[in-house]
Structure 1
Amino acid sequence: MAHKDSAAVPVKDARIMVIGGASLVGSATVDELLARGAREVVIFDNLSFGGQPNIAHLDGNPKVKVVQGDILKLHQLLAATEGVDGIVHLAAYMTLNFDRDPWGGIDVNVRGVQNVLEACRANKVRKLIFSSSNAVYGYGPGVKGDLVEDTPFHAAGAPPAAILYGASKIMGEQLCRDSFRKHGQDYVVLRYSTVYGERQHYRAANALYIVETHDAIKRGERPKVIGDGSETKHFVYVGDLARANIMALEAPATDVAVNTSGPEPVTTLELVKLVAELSGRPDLQPEHVQPDPTKVRLTSGGAFEIVHKAAKDAIGWEPQVTMREGLRRLLAWRDAATN
């Protein structure tokens, strides 16, 4: 199919759907779309993970339409995507959910993407932004050094649920590529690193380090660090990802997958100490513990960095919020929410 000159979808005055719009990233993306002048934002979400509080502030907004629907039911997607200019697709099972229900994860993360792409084709949606993950590089000792977009997948030594999640994201990306080649469906894949920020939940295996540390400190307990604390994590602030979603829609880029990571990686020991400091309890020194074999904890192996240069080249994006500033915002939000 002949390629168009530009796949850009300007957000101003456009009608954009956010699938999984009641999620952490989804609700931030909806806020950003409204701030950028979207004519209407459609939130499509099955609300199964209790996302209503994330979008409660949008109740009564005439520019927001909430559709409680299921991406596994194609007829619901077909009805909801009529007249939509662009879609940001965020709905997915993450690693902890895969651990509890692998069949459900495969359904949502693979067949769900197929359904979204079919709805795009049927209703001529101009562009799809698909949220993938740095999980496409795998987990375990093989994951080290600079992770760039052509880094291969590593599975050895990692929990099955983590590998199932990463493999499902690889399949989602390839379904997007297949739809572009067969039907000319424009898309951009954004490979998120671990997301954190206001409205943080307890479902992300890596972000648990932040919220569990904060919870322990608020109880006056020493925070726990698994192992020696040298494990690397690469987080990205939720507001930076919301911007990335909009920039991917508005960029002329298509048929591309890029990393969207934070400014720099952090070790788990550095992270726990930073949370303690920002919580006003730097005196609570971390306690080193052995991993709990009953819990899914993602080990990174060697030190790594998720390189985001390709995102700057493709859509003009780079992260703006440092780990310290993002954590300060998250902890302030958590403290306010519990007071």
Structure 2
Amino acid sequence: MAHKASAAVPVKGSKLMVIGGASLVGSATVDEMLARGAEQVIIFDNLSFGGQPNIAHLEGNPKVKVVQGDILKLHQLLAATEGVDAIVHLAAYMTLNFDRDPWGGIDVNVRGVQNVLEACRSNKVKKLVFSSSNAVYGYGPGVKGDLVEGVPFHSEGAPPAAILYGASKIMGEQLCRDAFRKHGQDYVVLRFSTVYGERQHYRAANALYIVETHDAIKRGERPKVIGDGSETKHFVYVGDLARACCMAIEAPSTDVAVNTSGPEPITTLQLVNLVAELSGRPDLQAELVEPDPTKVRLTSGGAFEIVHKAAKDAIGWEPQVTMREGLGRLLAWRDAEAKRNA
């Protein structure tokens, strides 16, 4: 991990950009930047995943500029990044989208990152925060124990789309390292664990356990758990990640990749039953079902924990929101949205 004074960019008074800013993490990060006194925040997003409602509350804010653009079109990135001090790059295909469109996933997750780095070099952007994933450790039976930075990649026994996603994030990280070595481009990689929180969507394979469980309970049905429910999941609350993105910009650290995970892991069975309890229906306990071979579901193999100690050392970050508290916020938001749209 490198440290240098020039790698620290204050959020307050700076011109910042969030690529994929209309996403779950993106919209929360924009909110956090504004709360910390950013002079201007540019949301760069192609809006292909219907993110407009996530940023509707920012309409008319003089400090927010929305640019509908595509990271695969370098000229658009070059124009949008002029005068920008730091960028948080979140735009990516996740596993479910990779399963449907591998070509698109490779383009966005690899070529798109290289385009962002080229725009940073050309316009002298001081710092890039790149959102990676704990998928860089792989999936399947080999993933167990403490997952710390430096654990090797495991692919045996996992769906191809999950491995493609993880491999694409490894490539993104290495492109950042390459840009640092060749051009001195300062960067911090944040390896997100599964994100959840207000403005939750249906595109994240593991977060589906939360939203599909809540949907089933609302219909008065027992939620389903695939397998025996002993699989480990490690979630992180979206507000904690928004803080991590801002702290990574402000930290003197550069040329480093760190885990950003929630306080503790949880099994699928514990998660589903917790959602039932927080929904006021603890009687609707999970029903165990056999896996559907036609659906992409991520299995972790053995019990694991994504250790976030290095993030504390590198950027001063640690998670604050427990699973119970974060789930309560998410479910309250979903109930309010359902009422509003009724």
Instruction: Give your verdict on TM over 0.5.
Output: yes
CA-CA distance at 1:5 after TM superposition:
3.4
What secondary structure does 1:6 align onto?
A: helix
Q: Residue 50 and residue 318 in structure 1: after superposition, are their counterparts in 2 closer, same or farther (change >3 A)?
A: same
Aligned counterparts of 2:281 and 2:235: Cα–Cα separation in 1: 22
Give CA-to-partner distance per residue, 1:223-266, whole Å, 9 cap, x none.
11111110000000000000000000000000000000000000
* Contact 1:94/1:203 (<8 A) preserved: yes
The residue number in structure 2 matching 1:143 is 143
The residue number in structure 2 matching 1:152 is 152
Give CA-to-partner distance per residue, 1:181-220, whole Å, 9 cap, x none.
0000000000000000000000000000000000000000
User: How well do the aligned residues superpose, as a CA RMSD in angstroms?
Assistant: 1.3
CA-CA distance at 1:299 after TM superposition:
0.4
* Contact 1:227/1:290 (<8 A) preserved: yes
CA-CA distance at 1:2 after TM superposition:
11
Give CA-to-partner distance per residue, 1:108-152, whole Å, 9 cap, x none.
000000000000000000000000000000000000000000000
* Contact 1:6/1:253 (<8 A) preserved: no
TM-score, reference length from structure 1: 0.98
What secondary structure does 1:42 align onto?
A: strand
CA-CA distance at 1:3 after TM superposition:
8.1
The residue number in structure 1 matching 2:44 is 44
**How many aligned positions are there?**
337
- Structure 1 runs of 4+ off > 4 angstroms? 1-4
TM-score, reference length from structure 2: 0.97
Aligned counterparts of 1:203 and 1:31: Cα–Cα separation in 2: 22
* Contact 1:188/1:257 (<8 A) preserved: yes
* Contact 2:3/2:254 (<8 A) preserved: no
Q: Residue 2 and residue 139 in structure 1: after superposition, are their counterparts in 2 closer, same or farther (change >3 A)?
A: closer
Q: Residue 2 and residue 105 in structure 1: after superposition, are their counterparts in 2 closer, same or farther (change >3 A)?
A: closer
* Contact 2:3/2:253 (<8 A) preserved: no
* Contact 1:217/1:276 (<8 A) preserved: yes
* Contact 1:3/1:184 (<8 A) preserved: no
List runs of 5+ in structure 2 lacking aligned partners. Answer: 336-340
List runs of 5+ in structure 1 lacking aligned partners. Answer: none
Aligned counterparts of 2:231 and 2:162: Cα–Cα separation in 1: 16
CA-CA distance at 1:279 after TM superposition:
0.1
Q: Residue 4 and residue 280 in structure 1: after superposition, are their counterparts in 2 closer, same or farther (change >3 A)?
A: closer
What secondary structure does 1:57 align onto?
A: helix
CA-CA distance at 1:285 after TM superposition:
1.6
Aligned counterparts of 1:131 and 1:194: Cα–Cα separation in 2: 12
What secondary structure does 1:44 align onto?
A: strand
Give CA-to-partner distance per residue, 1:29-71, whole Å, 9 cap, x none.
0000000000000000000000000000000000000000000
* Contact 2:17/2:42 (<8 A) preserved: yes
CA-CA distance at 1:286 after TM superposition:
1.1
* Contact 2:46/2:68 (<8 A) preserved: yes
Give CA-to-partner distance per residue, 1:142-171, whole Å, 9 cap, x none.
000000000000000000000000000000
Aligned counterparts of 2:154 and 2:319: Cα–Cα separation in 1: 26
Aligned counterparts of 1:145 and 1:301: Cα–Cα separation in 2: 10
CA-CA distance at 1:319 after TM superposition:
0.1
CA-CA distance at 1:6 after TM superposition:
3.6
Aligned counterparts of 2:15 and 2:6: Cα–Cα separation in 1: 18
Aligned counterparts of 2:2 and 2:103: Cα–Cα separation in 1: 38
What secondary structure does 1:118 align onto?
A: helix
